């Protein structure tokens, strides 16, 4: 039943993230932590995230801005590997606390970013890639940070979804390779990640027909609720472990 619940949440999360550009890791991570524990959940989510981003690229292939993707990835990929190595040195309880606090903190940060209509160029994407890449290596999802960065660059609709996914794909591949190199990504964990990722991929293709139908205000409320609920659940898990 627990495994079936992971698949159901993965399908819902994949659909929502396929519409708004983020949210799959935020929704699925607490379920994976509950089912497998934080040390296994993070590499499982890394594999699943690779598949989720790949599905969004396939759905919007012609819309990818490869210059923006390259600028973000050139610094983000090595930073993600460094962050993943940092994560492996942390105790499981600290991982729960770090992810939970990060998700909760992202609610006011996202509102602050929304209030400041900033403009980003390729250099900003490179700087953002380094910072967000390192955080991506440590926590499950940094979508609340990467999403506004690509929006500030001027991308929208399918171009935004495809480019953000293509850029994030490199980070999660780097993170997964680091986990495998240091023994945290065993064949059993990789299989769990592939199965969870398959549900995210299915959701992403379901979502394509709904893109842009969700009103911006509704999107903001959904993301706030998801991040707060996920953050609180992970902090609760750390407090009771």
User: What is the signed CA dihedral for 72, 12, 57, 142, rounded to 10 degrees?
Assistant: 0
Q: What is the pLDDT of residue 123?
A: 92
Rg of the chain on CA atoms, in Å: 16
| pLDDT by residue, tens only, the chain of 241 residues | 567 778 787 777 777 766 666 667 777 877 888 888 877 888 888 888 888 888 778 877 888 899 999 999 999 999 999 988 887 777 767 766 777 787 787 778 767 766 766 678 899 999 999 988 998 887 766 666 777 788 778 887 678 778 888 998 888 899 888 888 888 788 888 888 888 888 888 777 676 666 556 565 666 676 677 667 767 776 776 777 6
Taking each helix axis from N to C end, the angle separating 66-88 and 122-138, rounded to the nearest 10 degrees, works out to: 30
Give the span between the Cα atoms of 75 and 125, in whole angstroms: 9
Q: What is the pLDDT of residue 19?
A: 65
Q: What is the pLDDT of residue 61?
A: 82
DSSP string, the chain: -HHHHHHHHHHHHHHHHHHHS--HHHHHHHHHHHHH-HHHHHHHHHHHHHHHHHHHHHHTGGG--HHHHHHHHHHHHHHHHHHHHHHHTS-HHHHHHHHHHHHHHHHHHHHHHHHS-----HHHHHHHHHHHHHHHHHSS--HHHHHHHHHHTT--HHHHHHHHHHHHHHHHHHHHHHHHHTT-S-HHHHHHHHHHHHHHHHHHHHHGGGTT-S-HHHHHHHHHHHHHHHHHHHHHHHHH-
Q: Which residues contact 57 (CB under 8 A, 6 or more apart)?
A: 64, 162, 165, 166, 169
Q: What is the pLDDT of residue 130?
A: 94
Q: What is the pLDDT of residue 15?
A: 75
Give the span between the Cα atoms of 23 and 40, in whole angstroms: 20
Q: What is the pLDDT of residue 168?
A: 86
Q: What is the pLDDT of residue 23?
A: 64
Q: What is the pLDDT of residue 144?
A: 65
Q: What is the pLDDT of residue 223?
A: 63
Task: For residue 176, give the nearest of 164, 166, 187, 184 by alpha carbon.
Answer: 184
Q: What is the pLDDT of residue 126?
A: 95
DSSP string, 57-121: HHHTGGG--HHHHHHHHHHHHHHHHHHHHHHHTS-HHHHHHHHHHHHHHHHHHHHHHHHS-----
End-to-end Cα spacing for the chain = 22
Q: What is the pLDDT of residue 151?
A: 74
């Amino acid at each position: 039943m627990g495994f079936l619940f992971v698949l159901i949440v993965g399908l819902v999360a994949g659909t929502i993230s396929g519409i708004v550009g983020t949210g799959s890791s935020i929704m699925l991570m607490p379920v994976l932590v509950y089912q497998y524990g934080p040390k296994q959940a993070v590499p499982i989510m890394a594999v699943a995230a690779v598949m989720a981003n790949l599905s969004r690229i396939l759905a919007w292939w012609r819309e990818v801005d490869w210059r923006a993707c390259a600028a973000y990835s050139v610094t983000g990929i090595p930073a993600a590997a460094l962050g993943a190595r940092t994560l492996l040195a942390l105790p499981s309880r600290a991982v729960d606390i770090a992810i939970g606090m990060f998700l909760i903190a992202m609610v006011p940060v996202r509102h602050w970013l929304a209030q400041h209509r900033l403009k980003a160029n390729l250099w900003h994407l490179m700087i953002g890639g380094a910072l967000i890449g390192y955080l991506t290596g440590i926590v499950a999802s940094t979508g609340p940070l990467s999403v506004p960065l690509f929006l500030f660059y001027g991308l929208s609709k399918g171009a935004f979804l495809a480019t953000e996914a293509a850029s994030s794909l490199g980070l999660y591949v780097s993170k997964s390779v680091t986990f495998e190199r240091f023994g945290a990504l065993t064949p059993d964990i990789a299989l769990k990640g592939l199965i969870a990722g398959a549900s995210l991929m299915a959701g992403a293709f379901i979502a394509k027909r709904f893109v842009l139908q969700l009103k911006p205000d509704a999107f903001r409320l959904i993301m706030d609720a998801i991040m707060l609920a996920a953050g609180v659940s992970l902090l609760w898990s750390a407090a009771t472990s």
